[in-house]
Structure 1
Amino acid sequence: MADLMRNIYSTRVFLSLTFLFFSSVALSASFDCGKASTGVEKKICNSPSLSIMDEKLSELFKPLKSRRTFQVIESDWLESERNSCESVECIEDAYVQQIQFMSPVTIAPRPSQKDIKLMPGDKTYTQFERSWKVVDLAWLPNEKGAVERFIISAETISSMLHVIVFEGHFDPAMIAYRGNLYEYVDRNDRPVLHTIAKDIGFDGALNLGSNDEGKRFAGILDGSFYYRQQLSKNQLRGMAYKFGSRLPPVESSLLFQQWSNTDENAVSGLTFGWGGDYGKLQAYYSHTKGYETIAPVDRPEVGWNIYSPIWSKTRPTFYFKNGTNTIWRANVSDKTLTKVVAASDDGMIYNPTPVDINGREAVVYLNGYTLKMAISLDE
């Protein structure tokens, strides 16, 4: 929160200096003030400082407007925050916060394991309050017979978010999952979901859908999504789909294989001890002896029931479900523990997957058959 306040103060100073520099120049907002019709629009046009803020926000939004997530966030901000203001001060505060959020963030270099120190004594991680913006990205078709849903891969490629989702059921005769593969592309100029393949046997991991899925046989490489299609109980073939192409997948001689999400980018080891019905969460490091307690048995929630730990590729942070309806993050560098989001509409959460959006920390996940993303407002 202290960092957020410093950033907001810096933004205010920048805008104040900008206003002083341009005070002798005729200023206008990013929209046509001759057509201003609402009280908020008129206040912006009548205030040089608000006009500067509006222009600044417009410039920041230009490179992001083709991305659906930011279009939704900007529309929601206009309706629920800026346009609900009655005073100039309220409008100014709304602009300061939105300018801060839309500004690109530089991601700090990820520390290696040897750079991270073991927390001394019996101290536990600090529960840190952060604000997260939740955006509904897409709704899966939820076709008849679809009872299983998984996020297979999620990655930002050339600043554009791509998510691969499977929806279907387990076929005991084939001993594999059967269903549809979908691609979500965070872009405004297309339908939000594209069907990559329909009614196929999909082989994505040794134990797809389990807490630790083991080795993965589906994933992203050089702008394409590789997966194994199961033709029969004993026959598989490699397939590749070029991201964003909307072309049919092609057979590939290249077979994808990768460590599990739980281990792939790990900075430390994790243990989930048992104490009564639930256990405490601990971390350990290969370069030093001992353990540190991330969370004790009964705090900050009543018990821990840990599922699906997954490490960020860019941060010393892992994310996990506690039970089926909350997502948490733990940062092993600054020793903080944060609740990211809770399920809505009494639904269940699946596959929290970390990504970076405009440099900001974000988590893509399924809430029932809704594909969602939570973006950190504090950086």
Structure 2
Amino acid sequence: MKIIVACDSFKGCMTSQQANEAIAKGIQKANPNHEIYCSSMADGGEGTAQVLGQCLHATKIDVKTLDAYGKEIMTYYFITKDNTAILDVASCIGLSMVEKDKRNPFIANSRGVGIMMKDAMKKGCKKMVIGLGGSSTNDGGMGLLNEFGIEFYNKHMEPCKANPYGLKNMVYINKKKFIKPNIEITVACDVNIHLLGEKGTTHFFGKQKGFYRNQMSEVDCWMKNYRDCMQHTFHVDLDSFEGGGCAGGIGACLMGVFDAKRMPGAQLVASMSNLEQHIQSSDLVITGEGQTDLQTEYGKVPFEVLNIAKKYNVPTICLSGALGIGYQKLYEHGMAGIFSSSDRAMTFQVAIDKGAEKLENLAYSIIHLMDHLQGDI
């Protein structure tokens, strides 16, 4: 049996490559006769630049920037042979960079992304691919715009900080220092949500970033004020862009102000890795992610892999670290099986530490069962 393994990264636990290798190891233990092909995947979130950089044989560039809370950090991006920069926001303002109980979206900002963009431009890049998933910010891209010279002021003509309170308090935007860069930007989005509303960025991602349920409607109103101010200054509606809600509004900022083009992240990675070519000649596809839930069907890796496999009637199963609310929807789209590698009650840290081992054991059990049912053992 030819088996394709194409997982997303398991945030804060395993890279895509590490998750694929754990599953492959489990398959080989169950039956060494199976042919296995691993394809690293990403959907615009954590690890996107790494995966695309490997696919395109790009050069890794180290850069000093700021995290979401203003702390200096070293991170990296990639530059291809044709001077295209590939970076993801999660590498500097990533959600997994901060422990869950220490996340504070009310003070987090996106300035670090702007610093990385400017570094790539100084190195001569005229094209840029930016993965937007996995951010810890909800500032609408204010911090990024600050880095390019755009200033925000409250009613007292005092500068607004780049955070949700700034969204609330701004009444005036000064763009006199802003010079639109001559660069072609593609944003890789993992979901197709807009900036505002009950299905917008604050409501959709707010809980994982640290907002309480009773805060989200108010913060969404602040984001609407930001949209209105930006529309008055730049004559563009940031809420009109599909995918604009990605990365706490950075997507809308890049599409509205920098004329960035949007492409579903998982589709972008799949096309560059020739995943479809490998799937069409396979017997089984295994995909996975850190947590499978309602968000998965909005364009995350398992959903994109499933859609490719369906074209060739190849059965697909999903192995994830955890199963959240609404994961069953994937069955309606044709997923053959959905499994969690968490085999007992455990702390989050134990789940992280034992992630690869648990995933390997799960893959072993599933392949052993399939072989038994098919009479191969």
The TM-score range, normalised by the shorter chain, is under 0.3
With CA pairs under 8 Å and 6+ residues apart, which has the higher RCO, 1 or 2?
Answer: 2
Q: Which of the two has greater strand per residue?
A: 1
Q: Which of the two has greater helix per residue?
A: 2
TM-score, L = length of structure 1: 0.23
TM-score, L = length of structure 2: 0.23
